[in-house]
């Protein structure tokens, strides 16, 4: 097995005295894991940071063997890790990919979405420029894993007009009139998810409540549940910034 590709570092954990096991998302071959010899060294630690883009090579003698990985830095986001909000966003976005995606399955749309989100965080660390993209990234993760939400029409009437809510049970949109008697039990549907204007902060938080509910219920369960702690840290920091 030999694979040369660009990849986004998503997770790094120590292995042995000096090595590291790295999980990285590739454009065409999905999530790939590899062992990096000396991955905990002073030279490689700045390269193997979640969010960094690397030119890498995976090599293994058999398909069952954990590949050896060599990586050369292409895009560094290490400077952002000293800023609490961007650091929390990068930590969560990459951890979600590492925890939720099965290895070796291609997710080209998710690669592009994650790369775009990280680029937006890099360009606008203050969150105004990337918070809506984060909601859309989480929605795409749900969709690509088979848990997509249907926000195109009302689950009750079938109408695509005046959609105002999302059912926490079905993940389907509900119109304003049909949902009014049950609004305390429904999520508010942010207008920006229906291409109705720019994303305001209250709508962004509404969107994050929706995606957080379905990620916790359908994707990050059992052994992956601890990954949600990274999301909780991000949400708390966003609340401090936006009030």
Domain boundary among 76, 91, 114: 76
Look at residue 38 and tell me if it is in a domain: yes
Domain boundary among 76, 96, 131: 76
Look at residue 101 and tell me if it is in a domain: yes
Would the CA dihedral through 35, 25, 228, 216 be positive or negative? negative
Q: Is there a single domain that holds both residue 222 and residue 116?
A: yes
What gap in Å lies between CA 230 and CA 157, rounded to an integer?
A: 38
Look at residue 215 and tell me if it is in a domain: yes
pLDDT at 234 over 80: yes
Relative orientation angle of helices 131-144 and 108-123, to the nearest 10 degrees: 170
Domain boundary among 31, 52, 76: 76
Contact 138, 215 (CB under 8 A): yes
Task: Kindly state the average pLDDT of the residues 161-175.
Answer: 97
The set of residues, in sequence order, having a beta carbon less than 8 Å from that of 232 and lying 6+ positions away, is none
Q: Is there a single domain that holds both residue 142 and residue 241?
A: yes
Q: In the chain, pLDDT over 70 holds for what percent of residues?
A: 98
Helical ranges in 46-200 per DSSP H? 84-100, 108-123, 131-144, 176-179
Contact 8, 25 (CB under 8 A): yes
Closest CA to 4 of 53, 47, 83, 59: 59
Q: Which domain holds residue 236?
A: 80-151+189-243
Q: What is the pTM of this model?
A: 0.94
Q: Is there a single domain that holds both residue 66 and residue 133?
A: no
Look at residue 164 and tell me if it is in a domain: no
What gap in Å lies between CA 105 and CA 86, rounded to an integer?
A: 28
115 to each of 28, 53, 55, 78, 163, how far by Cα in Å? 13, 9, 14, 15, 30
Look at residue 174 and tell me if it is in a domain: no
Question: Which pLDDT belongs to residue 62?
Answer: 84
Look at residue 165 and tell me if it is in a domain: no
Say which residue the tokens 């997509």 belong to: 148
The CATH number that applies at residue 37 is 2.40.50.140
Q: Write out pLDDT tens, residues 57-83.
A: 999 988 788 999 999 999 999 999 999
Look at residue 179 and tell me if it is in a domain: no
Q: Is there a single domain that holds both residue 196 and residue 141?
A: yes
Question: What is the pairing mode between strands 19-26 and 2-15?
Answer: antiparallel
Report how many domains make up the chain: 2
Task: Kindly state the average pLDDT of the residues 136-143.
Answer: 98
């Amino acid at each position: 097995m030999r694979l040369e590709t660009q990849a986004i570092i998503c997770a790094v954990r120590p292995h042995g005295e000096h090595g590291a096991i790295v999980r990285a998302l590739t454009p065409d071959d999905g999530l790939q894991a590899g062992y990096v010899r000396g991955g905990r060294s002073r030279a490689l630690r700045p390269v193997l940071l979640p969010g960094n883009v690397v030119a890498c090579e995976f090599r293994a003698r058999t398909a069952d063997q954990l590949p050896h990985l060599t990586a050369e830095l292409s895009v560094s986001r290490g400077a952002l890790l000293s800023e609490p909000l961007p650091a929390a966003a990068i930590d969560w976005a990459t951890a979600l990919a590492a925890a939720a995606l099965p290895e070796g399955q291609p997710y080209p749309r998710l690669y592009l979405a994650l790369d775009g989100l990280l680029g937006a965080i890099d360009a606008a660390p203050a969150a105004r420029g990337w918070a809506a993209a984060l909601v859309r990234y989480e929605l795409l993760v749900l969709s690509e894993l088979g848990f997509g939400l249907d926000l195109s029409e009302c689950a009750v009437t079938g109408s695509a007009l005046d959609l105002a809510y999302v059912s926490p049970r079905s993940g389907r949109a509900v119109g304003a009139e049909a949902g009014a008697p049950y609004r305390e039990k429904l999520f508010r549907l942010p207008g920006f998810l229906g291409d109705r204007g720019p994303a305001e902060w209250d709508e962004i938080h509404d969107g994050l409540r929706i995606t957080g509910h379905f990620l916790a219920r359908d994707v990050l369960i059992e052994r992956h549940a601890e990954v949600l702690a990274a999301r909780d840290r991000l949400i708390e920091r966003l609340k401090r910034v936006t009030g």
